[in-house]
Structure 1
Amino acid sequence: MIRNITFDEFIKLDIPVPLADVRTPAEFAHGHIPGAFNLPLFSNEERVVVGTTYKQVGREAAIMLGFDLTGPKWSGYIKKALEVVPEKRVGVHCWRGGMRSVAMAWALDLYGFEVYLIEGGYKSYRRWALNLFEKQYQALLLGGMTGSGKTRILNELAGRGEQMIDLEDLARHQGSAFGSMNKMVQPTQEQFENELAFRLKDIDAQQTVWLEDESRNIGKLTIPAPLWQQMSSAPVIDLEVDLKTRIASLVDEYGQLDKDFLINCTERIHKRLGPVQTKDAISAIRENRMDEFMRLVLVYYDKTYRNSLARKAQDRLFHLNVRDADAAHLTELILAISKTISFSKI
Structure 2
Amino acid sequence: MTRQLTIDDFFNSGTPVALIDVRTPAEFLQGHIPGAFNIPLFTNEERVKVGTTYKQVGREEAILLGFDLTGPKWSGFIKQALEIAPDKKVAVHCWRGGMRSGAMAWALALYGFDVVVIKGGYKNYRRWVHTRFAINYSLKVLGGMTGSGKTKILHQLKAMGEQVIDLEDLAQHQGSSYGTMNIMVQPTQEQFENNLATALTEMDPAVKIWVEDESLTIGKRSIPNPFWYQMREAALIDMRVNTEQRVAKLAQEYGTLDKDFLAACTERIRKRLGPEQTKHALEAIRENRMVDFIRLVLVYYDKTYRTGLSKRNAEKVFPVDIHSDDIVDNAHTILTFTKTLAEKATLY
* TM-score normalized with structure 1 length: 0.98
1:195 maps onto 2:187 in alignment:
no
2:335 corresponds to which residue?
335
Which position in structure 2 is the counterpart of 1:158?
158
Deviation at 1:14, TM superposition (A): 3.0
SS at match of 1:136: coil
CA distance in 2, matches of 1:325, 1:262: 26
Alignment length (residue pairs): 343
Deviates more, 1:81-90 or 1:165-174: 81-90
C-alpha displacement of 1:12: 2.1
Match of 1:310 in 2: 310
Which residue is equivalent to 1:22? Answer: 22
Alignment partner, residue 277 of structure 2:
277
Cα distance in 2 for partners of 1:328, 1:286 equals: 36
Correspondence for 1:115? 115
Give 2:176's aligned residue: 176
Specify whether residues 341 and 64 from structure 1 end up closer, same or farther in structure 2 by C-alpha distance, changes over 3 A only.
farther
Task: Report which stretch shifted further, 329-338 or 109-118.
Answer: 329-338
CA shift for structure 1 position 69: 0.7
Alignment partners' CA distance in 2, 1:64 and 1:151:
54
Q: Which runs of 5+ in 1 are unaligned?
A: none
Which residue of structure 2 aligns with residue 222 of structure 1?
222
Distance of 1:9 and 1:257 partners within structure 2: 47
How far off its partner does 1:340 sit?
3.9
Query: TM-score if structure 2 supplies the norm length?
Result: 0.97
Q: Distance in 1 between matches of 2:25 and 2:256?
A: 36
Deviation, 1:307, is 0.5
Structure 2, unmatched stretches of 5+, are none
Match of 1:319 in 2: 319
> Equivalents in 2 of 1:102, 1:56: separation in Å?
23
CA shift for structure 1 position 289: 0.2
Of residues 15-24 and 319-328 in structure 1, the stretch that sits farther from structure 2 once superposed is 319-328
**Residues 1:249 and 2:249 are matched in the alignment:** yes
1:282-316: CA deviation from partner (whole Å, max 9, x where unpaired): 00000000000000000000000000011111110
Q: Letter of the aligned partner of 2:75 in structure 1?
A: S
- Equivalent position of 2:47 in the other structure: 47
Match of 1:82 in 2: 82
CA–CA distance in structure 2, aligned partners of residues 128 and 203 of structure 1? 16
SS where residue 294 of structure 1 aligns?
helix
CA distance in 2, matches of 1:339, 1:48: 57
What residue in structure 2 maps to residue 235 of structure 1? 235
RMSD over equivalenced CA pairs, Å: 1.0
Once the two structures are superposed, residues 180-216 of structure 1 have per-residue CA deviations (whole angstroms, 9 ceiling, x without a partner) of 0101000000000000000011111111000000011
Q: Which amino acid aligns with 1:174?
A: Q
Report the Cα distance in structure 1 between the residues aligned to 2:329 and 2:187, rounded to whole angstroms. Answer: 35
Task: State the one-letter code of the partner of 1:100.
Answer: R
The equivalent residue for 1:135 is 135
Q: CA deviation at 1:88?
A: 1.1
State the partner residue of 2:297. Answer: 297
* AA aligned opposite 2:5: I
Bigger Cα displacement from structure 2, 248-257 vs 18-27:
248-257
The CA deviation at 1:341 is: 4.0
**Structure-to-structure mapping, 1:95-106, within 5 angstroms:** 95-106=95-106
